[in-house]
Amino acid sequence: MVVSPSTKMFLKTAANVLNRRAFSTSRVTCAQQMTVRDALNQALDEEMERDETVFIMGEEVAQYDGAYKVSRGLWKKYGDKRVIDTPITEIGFAGICVGAAFAGLKPVCEFMTFNFSMQAIDHIINSAAKTYYMSAGRIKVPIVFRGPNGAAAGVAAQHSQCFGAWFAHCPGLKVISPYNSEDCKGLLKAAIRDPDPVVFLENEILYGNQYPMSDEALSKDFVLPIGKAKIERAGNHITLVAHSKAVELALEASNELAGQGIECEVINLRSLRPLDIPTIEQSVVKTNHLVTVEQGWPTCGIGSEICARIMESEAFYHLDAPIVRVTGMDVPMPYTKTLEGYALPRAEDIVVAVKKVLGAAPK
């Protein structure tokens, strides 16, 4: 094929332009990826650097860098007085932390798993949560109880339960259940700065997951408000409300449903106490349908509370079908891998629930 000189010049110019072209990318694609573990570590480091009254106490948090490496490097940086290893006695070190908070320090009390927090529940409920009220506001209790919560993998009934509803039931506590890396960093910093006791429920399965971090989230000044939910995905057919790992399941289900023409609005609660009911109400008014998703047990769960609040609100009159809850099975967690999978909600369970709700709606 014969190519004229003018054509050659045009092709050469076009090639140079294309080589220099900055292709458009989304904010998420450009954002730096960070694991949940590293986001928590960064939050702890920044708050300890900012405020010398902040310290960490728990099992293996110092020389071992934490059972899940969340406190990695902090003992070497801040020393024995601010990163303190303890014996295996939750009732002991939780009591020390609560007393330190009474005295004006800001302890971060780490439970290797929140299943072990049952050993210390008297300190959490009767001392930390109630003292500000019982002292008529004279004694503040700026403490954070944090660690992995909910189902892990292959650790059976005594190490697999979600305590979100347990602690959210108690006035005097603030309860946070974050999903991704931005949630974990911004909300842990807010929890440490808060003058009240905060229960911070992480998820072991999510520790190693990477999520995008915006430039704002990478800043040392990044703090998220406690009690404010986030709309992770906009939609107009049905609202899915979830927290922690259940948000991931809701997003997975919403992607599958989008391929079938059903657009779900996915709300990441972030906080369980206080609940951001106005955000849920606004979404329900728009979509007229609601499904709640959680990995905990169904009886007296977070989904149950949301159902009651919506029923008691003006948003109830905008529902075109009953609310459906997707939860863990109402049994102790089985050890057998196959049964464990069936005991926890799956994305396909959410898909079935959504279709049930939309199918029940008036035509």
Q: Residue-wise over 40-73: b if at least 16 C-beta within 10 A, else e?
A: bbbbbbbbbeeeeebbbbbbbbbeebbbbbbbbe
- Torsion, Cα of 354, 356, 361, 363 (10° steps): 100
The phi, psi pair for 45, rounded to 5°, reads -60, -45
DSSP annotation string for 143-179: -EEEEE-S--SS--GGG----HHHHHTSTT-EEE---
Q: Which of 46, 47, 59, 90 is catalytic?
A: 90
- Given the DSSP bridges, would you call strands 174-176 and 271-273 parallel, antiparallel or unpaired? antiparallel
DSSP annotation string for 78-138: H-TTTEEE--S-HHHHHHHHHHHHHTT-EEEEE-SSGGGGGGGHHIIIIIITTHHHHTTTS
Is 252 noted as a catalytic residue in this protein?
Answer: no
Q: Please give the DSSP secondary-structure letter assigned to residue 332.
A: P
Is 159 noted as a catalytic residue in this protein?
Answer: yes
Beta bridge partners of 233: 266
Euclidean distance between the first and final Cα of the chain, in Å? 63
The total number of residues shown for the chain amounts to: 363
- If you search the block for the tokens 């997003």, which residue do you land on? 251
Q: Which of 60, 159, 169, 263 is catalytic?
A: 159
- Torsion, Cα of 254, 256, 257, 263 (10° steps): 50
Catalytic residue set:
90, 159
